[in-house]
Amino acid sequence: MNNSQNDPGEFGLIDWMRQREGISRSRWTKLGIGDDCAILQPDRGSDLLVTTDMLMDGRHFRLQQDGPRAVGYKAMGVNLSDIAAMAGVPRAAVVAVALPRAHATELAQGLYAGMHELAGQFEVDLVGGDTNAWDGPLVISVTLFGEATERGAVRRAGAMPGDVILVTGTLGGSLFAGRHLRPEPRVALALAMHQVVPIHAMIDISDGLSSDLGHILAESGGLGAVLDESAIPIHSDAYDMSRKDGMCALDHALNDGEDFELCLVIAARDAARLLADPPAPAVLYRVGVVTERPGLRLRGADGHERPLVSMGFDHFRTVEDPP
Amino acid sequence: MNNSQNDPGEFGLIDWMRQREGISRSRWTKLGIGDDCAILQPDRGSDLLVTTDMLMDGRHFRLQQDGPRAVGYKAMGVNLSDIAAMAGVPRAAVVAVALPRAHATELAQGLYAGMHELAGQFEVDLVGGDTNAWDGPLVISVTLFGEATERGAVRRAGAMPGDVILVTGTLGGSLFAGRHLRPEPRVALALAMHQVVPIHAMIDISDGLSSDLGHILAESGGLGAVLDESAIPIHSDAYDMSRKDGMCALDHALNDGEDFELCLVIAARDAARLLADPPAPAVLYRVGVVTERPGLRLRGADGHERPLVSMGFDHFRTVEDPP
């Protein structure tokens, strides 16, 4: 970790952060920015959650169009979403950046502003980082630390046949109007739900519902699921996208990535309770059930089931490809 | 954190790691690769050390020439060196990569092999990661977690006037023959020294002795130092570099970066003890003393002192620039 730069006239993301992060928001922070390592003091006996996500220009954002602040916001947001998916409490983050040389200072400050916005909202300390300049495109990598609650971290494994599948918001078309840049990490909602009912399994929808639910089913011992076609909550962006590309809105909702809603699996009786009295301001949708029979199926209004091929977010697609 | 890929035929650094990291080396690891977050269980009441370093093609390595295994090795090594600089015990790591699309699988496996070599040696678990492909150059970002011992983490702040400055090896010319790719993290040595004497301040030499010692002096309240010209241990690579570029070998030893030796500051009486009986197989060099008077000075064989301008590693230089 290189927390200082030789030339203070050059980009100073880390120094800049250090000045602004003097007041600690998290009780974990013993030593923040400015040494070879940060020092954290996790609560005694608590489980430490760790997640890392890297965003690259042209892959996860378009710097020219989106601007550095949006990039910093997204970089922090996608990591917060991973902590939410374990029903954890975010505490602290470190950030590493490769800045295009020409606008390094300006970019660093914009990135910081975006990260800071979410860090403040979620009481996360930025405790360290590594700043580099190069001739390549912007790359930012955030690693976030959180804490599991006394009820434990919720994993992908744990779904059981007969369990109900819920999602926390409408899905699809996140690329259409830039919603993929503004994740709203469901940290508070996950914690609230986890207090009320045992969550068997959970994941955040980054690759698309069909893919991410597929991860839960695979990790839970090779189970399957039936999704109700009429119950899939479709975001208005998915309809807009549909009008643009001719693919049906439902498919966008099932397969588009970067919604950053949660997909959770709970016992049927708990689902009934939760849907009857959801933690405010949650909007919860019951989208289907887990089955012993492997594979994903989609049940139409007529009751017929057809196999659902998990398309998911294409990790090789770039945001610069036309949708 | 995206621990799984949709298409197993594509690059599978994370899946590959998951298969190979099934056996945990660290008692901290509760849940490794394969979920939204890793779960670690730090020892009760221990301080958690966190460091992150990002390496980019053309800046910290030349992929074409060095190969992916060397890159993985260096990425893990520079982070281990930061843990060593706090006199900590490394425990676990996460890694995020941006892989050039054309050779993603091959690169991922090479990177992993390099990381694994050091991870095994230092009993570090690779507990998570994020794998991406793009059209840009290779970028790798490792975040490493460690534990401070009961004697506490050693910081940059803490040097006092009259303290003696030691370094753990010869310096300079690390770029000449590729030594910058093979850091030997001084973890065991730092722990052994910290058991024997109180270390007031410590840093790893990544930017060059003059710069990195400068960080210690600045963080310790604006102190200064006098270095003995004849006592600076010069690596044979610095002489080779000198023959090539005409700059004197001493300047290479004082200013080149990426030696990854430790620079430590301890009380004079402790230095005498440590130098008389260094923890095997340490080689320790006494290079100077800390002064109340600010600024770095170099004392020649004739006893005259001259100001030492901290040149340090140029964060804007690339390894592709001719040395």
pLDDT digits 0-9 by tens, A207-259: 999 999 999 999 999 999 999 999 999 999 999 999 999 999 999 999 999 99
Rounded to whole angstroms, what are the CA distances from A235 to A40, A176, A190? Answer: 40, 11, 21
Q: What pLDDT was estimated at residue B95? A: 96
Q: Verify whether the Cβ–Cβ distance A5 to B315 is below 8 Å.
A: yes
| Min distance B277 CA to chain A CA atoms (Å) | 27
Q: Verify whether the Cβ–Cβ distance B316 to A135 is below 8 Å.
A: no
Q: Verify whether the Cβ–Cβ distance B6 to A54 is below 8 Å.
A: no
Looking at residue B52, the DSSP 8-state letter turns out to be E
A243 shares contact with chain B (CB less than 8 Å): no
B9 shares contact with chain A (CB less than 8 Å): no
| Mean of the per-residue pLDDT values of chain A | 90
A141 shares contact with chain B (CB less than 8 Å): yes
**Which residues have C-beta within 8 Å of that of residue B95, sequence separation ≥ 6?**
A52, B13, B75, B111, B115, B126, B128, B129, B130, B140, B141, B142, B143
Rounded to whole angstroms, what are the CA distances from B99 to A189, B131, B132, B160, B270? Answer: 35, 8, 6, 46, 48
Query: Which residue type does A180 have?
Result: H
- The complex scores an ipTM of 0.92
B51 shares contact with chain A (CB less than 8 Å): yes
pTM: 0.93
Q: What pLDDT was estimated at residue A281? A: 76
Considering only residues 53 to 92 of chain B, which have any Cβ-Cβ distance to chain A shorter than 8 Å?
53-54, 56-59, 79, 82-83, 85-86, 88, 92
CB-closest option in B83, B85, B132 to A315: B132
pLDDT tens string, chain B, 323 residues long: the values are 654 443 434 445 666 677 776 667 778 888 988 899 999 998 888 899 999 999 999 999 999 999 999 999 999 999 999 999 999 999 999 999 999 999 898 999 999 999 999 999 999 999 999 999 999 999 999 999 999 999 999 999 999 999 999 999 999 999 999 999 999 999 999 999 999 999 999 999 999 999 999 999 999 999 999 999 999 999 999 999 999 999 999 999 999 999 999 999 999 999 999 999 999 778 999 999 999 999 999 999 999 999 998 765 544 344 444 33
Tell me the HSE value of A283 on the side-chain side, using a 13 A CA sphere. Answer: 6
Of B5, B41, B56, which Cα lies nearest the Cα of B127? B41
Q: What pLDDT was estimated at residue A1? A: 66
Structure tokens at A155: 């994993």
* B104: closest chain A residue by CA: A316
- Sole residue written with tokens 């009486």: B269
Considering only residues 168 to 207 of chain A, which have any Cβ-Cβ distance to chain B shorter than 8 Å?
202-204, 206-207
**What is the biggest distance separating any 2 CA atoms in chain B, rounded to whole angstroms?**
68
In chain A, residues with a C-beta closer than 8 Å to the C-beta of B132 are 54, 56, 59, 315
CB A90 within 8 A of CB A45: no
pLDDT under 70: residue ranges of chain A: 1-16, 21-23, 311-323
| Min distance A251 CA to chain B CA atoms (Å) | 17
In chain A, residues with a C-beta closer than 8 Å to the C-beta of B41 are 47-48
Task: Kindly report the number of other CB atoms within 10 A of residue A269's CB atom.
Answer: 10
CB B13 within 8 A of CB B112: yes
Q: Verify whether the Cβ–Cβ distance A86 to B49 is below 8 Å.
A: no
Best residue in B52, B134, B320 for a mutation probing chain A (most A CBs within 10 Å): B52
CB B15 within 8 A of CB A28: no
DSSP string, B124-152: -EEEEEEEEEESS--EEEEEEEEEE-TT-
**Which residues have C-beta within 8 Å of that of residue B77, sequence separation ≥ 6?**
B118, B182, B183, B184, B185, B260
Helix (H) or strand (E) holding B239: helix B236-245
Q: What pLDDT was estimated at residue B117? A: 95
